[in-house]
């Protein structure tokens, strides 16, 4: 799911990032041997905070994603990265986005 988020950023030329993806795998008899994947709870972060709703943390959200992201075998080395990547928010289990609380709050 991390690679799909990374791809979305590159494909959209750094303007938006599809992130916080969750989901699973299912099976229904039929085409393609019945296997499918479903994604839930998507968040879109854009250059301007709030454009895609309250979960859109704007450039801070994009930078946070890339601060925590580590490319994997599904990422393409030619895909762009956010030049401002920084871990702004703590990672939260079950989400790739984090809680909008600065890390410095725990110091």
Q: Are 68 and 87 in contact (CB under 8 A)?
A: yes
Q: Is 105 exposed, middle or buried (0-12, 13-18, 19+ CB in 10 A)?
A: exposed
Q: Are 49 and 60 in contact (CB under 8 A)?
A: yes
Q: What is the DSSP letter of 30?
A: S
Distance CA 98, CA 29 (A): 37
Catalytic residue positions, numbered: 20
């Amino acid at each position: 799911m991390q690679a799909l988020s990374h791809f979305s950023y590159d494909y959209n030329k750094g303007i938006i990032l599809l992130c916080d993806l969750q989901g699973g795998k299912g099976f229904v008899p039929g085409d393609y041997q019945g296997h499918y994947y479903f994604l839930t709870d998507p968040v879109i972060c854009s250059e301007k905070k709030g454009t895609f709703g309250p979960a859109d943390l704007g450039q801070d959200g994009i930078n946070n994603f890339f601060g925590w992201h580590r490319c994997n075998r599904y990422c393409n080395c030619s895909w762009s990265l956010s030049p401002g990547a920084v871990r702004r928010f703590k990672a939260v289990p079950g989400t790739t986005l984090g809680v909008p609380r600065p890390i410095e709050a725990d110091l």
